[in-house]
Structure 1
Amino acid sequence: MIKLKIFISVINTATRFTRYIALLVMASMMLFITFGVINRWLFTPIIGDIELVQLGMVVLIMCGLAYTEQAGSHIAIGIIVDRFPLRVQKIFDFFANLLTTLVTITIGYIYIEVALNHQNHMQLSTGLLNIPYYPIDYIIVLGFIMWGLQGLLKLVILIVSIFQTNQDSRKEV
């Protein structure tokens, strides 16, 4: 049980860290866009402002995915599932969390190769400011891995709750 608490603490701390990165990027983008619009209106446009905002959006979205999973804010369709008994709902939750974990960690793992390829062989960069893409690729990896770890955390908590429920029901008999 102590190992589970440590596991929960580590993943939630890492999620909190990525959440703060997303919030910092969002606030920075807000200030930068405001400054860019005022500067365009009064003086001269800022060169590359659109590129910087586009890269900021990638960082914002990728760093916000794990927190969105943690908060349960991803799109969910419960119209049908919510009508089933609690045990069947837990089965659906199990498979949903399992698929989330497998798919997101697989994407993150595969994207490591993309990031390494962009860093070492195919050095792509933005058109105007020549900002390389590979650091953004690593942020994409981080976002998907963290999302997958939050899915894994939900899966583990669900499994533990099922076993605790089964043990509690055996004690009553």
Structure 2
Amino acid sequence: MALFDKIAKGFTIGISYIAYAVLVLMMIFTGAAAVARAFHRPIIGDVEIVQIGMAILVACSMAYTEYRNGHVEVGILVDRFPSKLQKILDIFSLCLTVIFCVIVAYAFYAKFDMQHTSVLLGYKFYPFKALLIIGFIAWALMAIQKIIVLLRMKEYKKFE
């Protein structure tokens, strides 16, 4: 179990560095595009590049958000349930997360095409699709890790 924890957390933190880098590059690029537009020299394909960056940013940061327990929770009703029922509902929701991540990763894998290019700039999409697949797999691994932790808990307490 300790090995799986190390692998899942290490993989997630590694993916989060990709998200950080993409975020910084998007900020710089968006600023440069705005300045270029102000000088009547717009950067061709700036919207397309930022859209790809956003997809990568979201996919690579979801696993880290799961790791840090940063997803939004609404506990108005669930927090009043007995702890056993809360544990069951948490495990159920994490199972749904794993199913969702696996379906999305498989969908990107099934449509993985080395020849597909962007409309305006003509760059290949396969490196970005690979990052999306990796991001969703990392998110699924973090959810599986949390399921294992919950199943081993004798007394239920929320992740903090």
- How far the C-alpha of 1:70 sits from its partner, in A, is 1.3
Cα RMSD of the aligned pairs, angstroms, is 1.7
Distance 1:46 1:111 in 2: 29
- Ranges in structure 2 where 5+ consecutive residues have no aligned partner: 156-160
- The total of aligned residue pairs comes to 156
- Larger gyration radius, structure 1 or structure 2: 1
Provide Cα deviations, 1:24-69, integer angstroms capped at 9, x if missing partner. 1001110111111112212511122111111111111110110111
Q: State the match for 2:125 in structure 1.
A: 133
Report if aligned partners of 1:114, 1:137 keep a CA contact under 8 Å in 2. Answer: no
1:110-129 alignment to 2 at 5 Å? Answer: 110-115=107-112, 118-119=113-114, 123-129=115-121
Larger helix proportion, structure 1 or 2? 1
Matched residue type, 2:120: L
Provide Cα deviations, 1:80-131, integer angstroms capped at 9, x if missing partner. 110012121111111111221122123213321111xx22xxx322121101
Pick from 150, 156, 159: which aligns with 1:158?
150
Distance 2:119 2:92 in 1: 42
Pick from 15, 18, 21: which aligns with 1:21?
18
- How far the C-alpha of 1:142 sits from its partner, in A, is 1.1
1:57-136 alignment to 2 at 5 Å? Answer: 57-115=54-112, 118-119=113-114, 123-136=115-128
Q: State the match for 1:44 in structure 2.
A: 41
- Ranges in structure 1 where 5+ consecutive residues have no aligned partner: 166-173
Structure 1 runs of 4+ with >3 Å offset:
none
Matched residue type, 1:6: L
* TM value normalised by structure 1: 0.83
* TM value normalised by structure 2: 0.90
Pick from 114, 137, 147: which aligns with 1:145?
137
Q: State the match for 1:169 in structure 2.
A: none
Matched residue type, 1:91: I
Q: State the match for 1:5 in structure 2.
A: 2
**Percent of residue pairs identical:** 35
